[in-house]
Amino acid sequence: MAMSCDHPDLLPLPEALGRLWAALPGPTLAELRAGRDDPATDRAAMDGVALRSADGRAPRRLLGTLFAGDDPATFAVTPGTAVRIMTGAALPPGADAIVPVEQLETEGTQIQLRVTPDPGDHVRSRGDQARTGELLLPAGTPRNAARVALLAQEGLALPAQPRIRVGVASTGNELVASPAPYQIRDSNGPMLAELARVLGAEVQLRPALPDDPAALAAALLNPGDIRILLTSGGVSMGEHDHLPAVLEGLGATILFHKIRLKPGKPMLAALLGDLLVLGLPGNPVSAYLNALLFLPQALARLEGRAAPDPWRRGRLTAAVKNKGDRPLLHPCRLREGQLEPLPGKGSADLVTLAQADAFAWIEQGGLEAGVKTRCLVVV
Ligand code: AMP
Ligand code: MG
């Protein structure tokens, strides 16, 4: 595995995302072939009248109306006749063109044309989208809503994808409901629960866990009915940062621990049996940004969707320094596609996090005003 030279123990972000992707099962679609021509008959593409183009602009007499789903054999279009037809209805025998209602004048059952029809006008011809047996989707295609529709069209409806169940548990002895000045409330728990809900997960917000290896191990061994556990805190180098060792002690597979990103270096991902543990750092900005990077990736993979690309691009309205040795995500306001850097005070700065619209990617050395860079938009 490629590690960065200046930080041999820190995994670059794309590789961390790739490792997470590769470690999770990704259900994909089987090969899909057309069971019949699409469309299976010539169809009207507009509301209007179906007629023979060979008769030019001659007036026509209306025989009746065909709606989508009607059997077209009810009528036969002959010289001097036409059939009123609605979008999606099959063309009656004899007709080869549609003249839209906007291009007609109707008096009783007589119509005059304002245009000269050509064969095939406003007709979706049989098989013009696909022929019977044609390959529609190769095996291994990720799921999306349009592909679900294509399967449904072929009579192969997929079951609705159940929401992935995500548990959220903060860690830290300092987290209490009514804090003394040396304690704090759990803000990460509600934040991550809200983010997971917005990203489409079914969320269970748990009470915060103490910094106690036995309590952490018990929570990990009895996670309840969830597929992903989002923890925050306890993954860095402090003496109370027990999560990595507890996971290892339980025989978990550590996918990665520590990534090349500021903020959010201590990020950990592990598999404990089927349970994916995303061990987010405790600082709110780090927890938020890592959840925004890794949770959509995990959800997409587990749901069989394509890997999401959370990045947008914007131009910086002011220079941002980065004297560190990791890429920096810097809080910004987003105004008409421009990134206005905020005076962020680092990874503990929940106030600036709550004011930010996006986080700009700042390479080592910093970026000048006017430079375009990618950014993560806050959800
Ligand atoms: P840790 O990663 O556990 O060392 O925590 C890093 C910092 O984030 C510490 O200042 C913690 O108090 C703070 N922190 C940890 N968990 C939370 C939480 N759930 N809500 C708010 N702040 C937290
Ligand atoms: Mg802690």
Going from the first residue of the chain to its last (379 residues), give the mean pLDDT of each consecutive group of 10, the final group possibly shorter.
56 98 96 98 98 98 98 98 98 98 97 98 98 98 97 92 97 98 98 98 98 98 98 96 98 98 97 98 98 98 97 98 96 97 95 98 97 97
**108 alpha carbon to ligand 2 midpoint, in Å?**
81
**171 alpha carbon to ligand 1 midpoint, in Å?**
8
Specify the residue with its C-alpha closest to ligand 1, atom 6.
Answer: 282
Q: Phi/psi zone of residue 45: left (φ > 0), alpha (ψ -120 to 50 degrees), beta?
A: alpha
| Residues in contact with ligand 1 (CB, 6 Å cut-off) | 170, 172, 174-175, 184, 186-189, 232-234, 236, 238, 241, 281-284, 348
Q: Which pair of tokens denotes residue 227?
A: 């597929």
| CA nearest to 94, candidates 85, 103, 106, 107 | 85
Measured in whole angstroms, the distance separating CA 275 from the mean position of its chain's CA atoms is 22
Q: Given this model, what pLDDT does residue 3 score?
A: 40
Q: Given this model, what pLDDT does residue 367 score?
A: 98
Burial (0-12, 13-18, 19+ Cβ within 10 Å), 30: exposed
Q: Given this model, what pLDDT does residue 195 score?
A: 98
Q: Which residue has the tokens 């007036």?
A: 59
**328 alpha carbon to ligand 2 midpoint, in Å?**
23
The answer to whether 114 and 103 have CB atoms below 8 angstroms apart is: yes
| Ligand 1 binding pocket mutation candidate from 185, 191, 232 (most atoms within 8 A of CB) | 232
Q: Given this model, what pLDDT does residue 2 score?
A: 41
Q: Record the pTM.
A: 0.93
Ligand sitting nearest the alpha carbon of 174:
1
What's the DSSP call for residue 161? P
118 phi and psi angles, rounded to 5 deg: -110, 155
The answer to whether 34 and 130 have CB atoms below 8 angstroms apart is: yes
| CA nearest to 196, candidates 120, 294, 83 | 294
Residues with Cβ–ion distance below 5 A, ligand 2: 172, 233-234, 282
Q: Given this model, what pLDDT does residue 7 score?
A: 61
- Angle, to 10 degrees, between the axis of helix 13-23 and the axis of helix 284-302? 40
**170 alpha carbon to ligand 1 midpoint, in Å?**
8
Burial 209-227 (b: 16+ CB within 10 A, else e): bbbeeeebbebbeebeebb
**192 alpha carbon to ligand 2 midpoint, in Å?**
16
Q: Given this model, what pLDDT does residue 285 score?
A: 98
Q: Phi/psi zone of residue 60: left (φ > 0), alpha (ψ -120 to 50 degrees), beta?
A: beta
Specify the residue with its C-alpha closest to ligand 1, atom 11.
Answer: 282
| Ligand 1 binding pocket mutation candidate from 168, 182, 186, 188 (most atoms within 8 A of CB) | 188
E strands, 27-153, in order: 32-33, 43-44, 48-51, 60-66, 81-85, 97-100, 104-107, 110-113, 123-124, 135-137
Distance CA 302, CA 297 (A): 9
- Give the bridge partners for 156, in sequence order: none
**166 alpha carbon to ligand 2 midpoint, in Å?**
21
H/E run at residue 280: strand 275-280
**347 alpha carbon to ligand 2 midpoint, in Å?**
14
Ligand sitting nearest the alpha carbon of 267:
1
Residue 55's SS3 state is helix
